[in-house]
Amino acid sequence: MNNSLVHCPKCQAWLLDGVFNQPELSPCPACGTPLQIEVFPTLFRSQNVGRSGEAILVEGESSCFYHPQKKAVIPCQGCGRFLCALCDCELHGQHFCPVCLETGKTKGKIKSLENQRTLYDNLALILVVVPLIPPLAFIGIYATIITAPAALFVAVRYWNAPRSIVHRTRIRHVIAIVLASLQIAGWGVFFFAVTSHRF
């Protein structure tokens, strides 16, 4: 049996087969929470390494959600549906049905399927640096009244967002926050100087 398929809902400890299909509540071996867990017989079998589904031979065996005539060998970790060996899509040790795999790819719900990410640290840095580039600096300096707060918002709001598929530091976030803060402070000094001369 693959013990990694079922865990305690309270402490998340992996459960052994002694607590399954018992007529009364059984305590969790880790935290003692009373549990009653019913599982299908296929959970107690080793996984089928072949890629073709097996026919159901014993009455009461669970069947594949997509192929009712085929024996289920593992549940999908996305939706919980039982899958035959043909429908089992393994990805980095996790098992998904074809629908969950496609949904995870299109909606980004399965992180290990990601092939691109929005680089918010680059976006924040661009917002504070581009207006200061010499050919644009004369006009761009006025744009910083909008781009500096926008850059500060992006850098702070997406501080904990995944930065890249490859590992990188938060240095771009830090530079963007510092430059945006200096630009906002500069505008604050400018407006203070203008208003103080009027009075």
Token pair belonging to 135: 């050919």
Q: What is the DSSP string of 85-149?
A: TTT-EEETTEEE-HHHHHHHHHH--SGGG------HHHHHHHHHHGGGSHHHHHHHHHHHHHHHH
Which pTM does this prediction carry? 0.42
DSSP assignment letter at 42: G
Sorted by where each starts, the structural domains of the chain and their CATH numbers stand as 1-39 (no CATH), 49-114 (3.30.40), 120-193 (no CATH)
Q: Write down the pLDDT at residue 41.
A: 57
What b/e string do you get for 76-89 counting C-beta neighbours within 10 Å, with b at 16 or more?
Answer: bebeebbbbbbbbb
| Alpha-carbon span 92 to 89, nearest angstrom | 10
| Alpha-carbon span 152 to 128, nearest angstrom | 9
Tens-binned pLDDT, residue by residue, of the chain (199 aa): 344 467 777 787 777 767 777 778 778 888 888 877 766 655 555 554 445 555 555 666 788 888 888 888 889 988 888 988 888 888 878 888 888 888 877 766 666 666 667 788 888 888 888 887 777 667 777 888 888 899 999 988 888 877 666 677 888 888 888 989 888 888 888 888 888 876 5
Residue identified by tokens 């691109």 is: 116
